[in-house]
Amino acid sequence: MTLLGKRIAVTGVSSGIGKETAQRLVDAGASVVGLDRNEPADAIDKFVRVDLSDASSIDNAIVQVEGKLDGLCNVAGLPPTAGRVPVMKVNVIGLQRLTLGLIDTLNDGASIANVASLAGFGWQDSASAIRDWLAKADHDNVEALCDELDISDERCYFFSKEVLIAWTLINRWSWRDRSIRMNCVSPGPVETPILKDFIETMGARAEEDMRIMDRAGRPEDIAPLLVFLMSDESQWIRGANLPCDGGMSAHIQCQMNNLN
């Protein structure tokens, strides 16, 4: 599989899954535009500093990307310990603002891949709140809307990923006339800088997940799937939420339906 000649933007490029994805894209021949608050140590073709919690920073970053893109990997995200307002701003609102702001920059046939999470499993149970969030949310009303929808600090990470999965599905054909596709990947617990924060916040649930799993995931487990979604070979995958979690989502579904 080659990505020679493709220009792809990656958020969260300085660490974890974003860093690994950028390196693998480069190895596959792509030109990488990295977006992050922190400049990456690894060489990429262009770096744009951005704070996804700040609307003006996102708008400035969109301008600085310059030139056309063939893909966008939305990898950047905050852990649950960051609190509900920053989490919802970065994991959902900022991601959406950046993505929609880059649509005109994307070439026809481009691919968008969002990194969601196993934490978003069962998003259907939150469909009513998700609809309200998507209809009302912006950078300025996050705290008030969290109050209205009863999204606490403990709940925010789950909800942010539920919203992201639903938003991905909603946009399955939004740009079909230009053959632009959107999908998301839902990892289980992954050994990244935020894993400790994730386990701390999830408590007993995270400990149980880690006990069942043979191991935590690694960035190199997730990045190849994102690279594939940037390739022409993935053109018929649209609006999909692809689990990459060591079997955890399958385990949960089997338990829920007494299939074990």
Catalytic residues: 157
Amino acid letter at 122? G
Closest CA to 239 of 144, 173, 151, 147: 173
**Residue 52 contacts by C-beta under 8 Å, 6 or more apart in sequence?**
11, 58, 76, 89, 90, 94, 95, 98
**Residue 151 contacts by C-beta under 8 Å, 6 or more apart in sequence?**
84, 88, 129, 145, 159
**Residue 135 contacts by C-beta under 8 Å, 6 or more apart in sequence?**
none
Interatomic CA distance for residues 168 and 242, integer angstroms: 11
| 227: enclosing H helix or E strand | helix 219-230
Quick count: other Cβ atoms within 10 Å of Cβ 106?
20
